[in-house]
Amino acid sequence: MEIKNLYKFLIVVGVFCLAYFIPFESERVQNAIMESFFMLQDYARKHVLLCLVPAFFIAGAISVFVSQASVMKYLGPLANRFLSYSVASVSGTILAVCSCTVLPLFAGIYRMGAGIGPATAFLYSGPAINVLAIVLSAKVLGWKMGLARAVGSIAFAYLIGLFMSFIFRNDELEKKKTHMVLPQDEPSLMLWQQTVYMASMIGVLVFANWAKPHDTFGLWYFIYNLKWYITGLFALIFSYTFVKWLKASWILTVTGIIVVVLLSFIFPQYPLLSFSAGIGFLIYTGKTSSDMTKNWIDATWSFTLMILPLLFGGILVAGFLLGMPGSDRGIIPDAYVVKLVGGNSIGANLFASIVGALMYFATLTEVPIVQGLIGSGMGNGPALALLLAGPALSLPNMIVIRSILGTKKALTFISLVIVLSTLAGMIFGMIVE
């Protein structure tokens, strides 16, 4: 039997066994099934339009407008290690996205030729090195926890990248050979144009998802109150580049801007409505304008089809196993989790890292969840382990990473995050306690 057919057969057998043996009459199972759909609905409402859609467009732009030579120069296997890992880590800090939103961006730079080291450093740093989340951790969980999370996240980005690069050094030889013979192709846009164009989309992604801070005063809250105005400003900058440099239809673009502005004033309580209209006009204008815009929309669509189905499937599984954070309605009761993460043993830290890696945390939600777990008896070490592993990984995230990197590299990356988080938790626990 062919391997492909064997996999299909095993899937059929697995589905049959689940359907036959799962006690659907159990209230716990019924709640877990409903919880998986609640989690999918929550993700669709809060993250798909504002997080994933801009990220897919950015990934498509990377693959179309950023030359492979440029990616190889700064992130390739022959690039200066300090420079490449610094670029990857800083990029993640600026984006401050969740573990799922970072996936299309990671896929874009990796498929363009980035080395496995810088690419995985970016994959970890994007969701993990979130300045606002680290500040919130310090305010809610104490300055020691905030400092430990900041130091651990930055160090992990470098360490994971270096370990991945060393472990898979033979696999990188092919990329090095490609880099040696890579022609210096003429990019569609000049470097400064690429910078402005990408920055405008990143600005939309960052500020549209600017979370409400814990305090109702200070700089973060001031920015939060202005988030849609700042998002609109970046959208206007993008519209200019879209027409001026990508040769998009100015009539359709201006029409789209007018519609979005009108919807914003008529329905200010529904910002997603105007945001959705803007996305719709963007897709239609891109498909009917120049070759550059059409190629960009096609690349974006390709990333969407590759990542989104796996992501939704992973969210359903994660919801079934663990439920919505704090709900205690997954198939695995929260009491079991809390019981296993007390103290500072290696088992408690390892378990906290694994649970954190499996759970899905929306941006900033990990802090109140950990606060509640600490109140229920969770040790400081396991708390840090969960904070270091949780935002960077999730079950949906793992499934997609495997489809991009392959099973061997994906398991290595996941194992490194879990092991490093466990060690950091143990060290922190010993220092604090």
pLDDT tens track for 220-254? 888 888 988 898 899 999 999 999 988 899 999 99
Q: Does 171 or 387 have the greater pLDDT score?
A: 387
List own/partner pairs for 372-378 with CB under 8 A and 24 or more apart: 372/326, 373/337, 373/338, 373/341, 374/141, 376/338, 377/338, 377/342, 378/338, 378/341, 378/342, 378/352
What is the total residue count of the chain? Answer: 433
Domain ranges of the chain: 45-248+289-432
| 370, two tokens | 């950990």
| pLDDT of 241 | 92
| pLDDT of 255 | 93
Overall average pLDDT of the 20-40 stretch: 87
- Taking alpha carbons only, the member of 314, 332, 335 closest to residue 323 is 332
Overall average pLDDT of the 203-222 stretch: 80
Tell me the average pLDDT of the chain. Answer: 82
| pLDDT of 181 | 47
Q: Which uninterrupted H or E stretch holds 282?
A: helix 271-288
Overall average pLDDT of the 308-317 stretch: 77
Overall average pLDDT of the 157-181 stretch: 75
pLDDT in tens, 115-143: 888 888 888 887 887 666 776 678 778 88
- 3-state SS of 174-194 is HHHHHHHHCCCCCCCCCHHHH
| pLDDT of 291 | 87
Contact 423, 338 (CB under 8 A): no
Q: Does 206 or 353 have the greater pLDDT score?
A: 353
| pLDDT of 297 | 92
Output the pTM of the full model. Answer: 0.71
- Taking alpha carbons only, the member of 172, 186, 242, 192 closest to residue 67 is 186
- Taking alpha carbons only, the member of 329, 386, 333 closest to residue 361 is 386
Considering the chain, what percentage of its residues have pLDDT values greater than 90? 16
| pLDDT of 126 | 77
Angle CA(397)–CA(400)–CA(402) in degrees, nearest 5?
110
Instruction: Work out the pLDDT band at 78, boundaries 50, 70, 90.
Output: low
| pLDDT of 20 | 87
Angle CA(170)–CA(310)–CA(103) in degrees, nearest 5?
55
- For the cut 50, the answer to whether the pLDDT of residue 180 exceeds it is no
- For the cut 50, the answer to whether the pLDDT of residue 45 exceeds it is yes
| pLDDT of 73 | 67
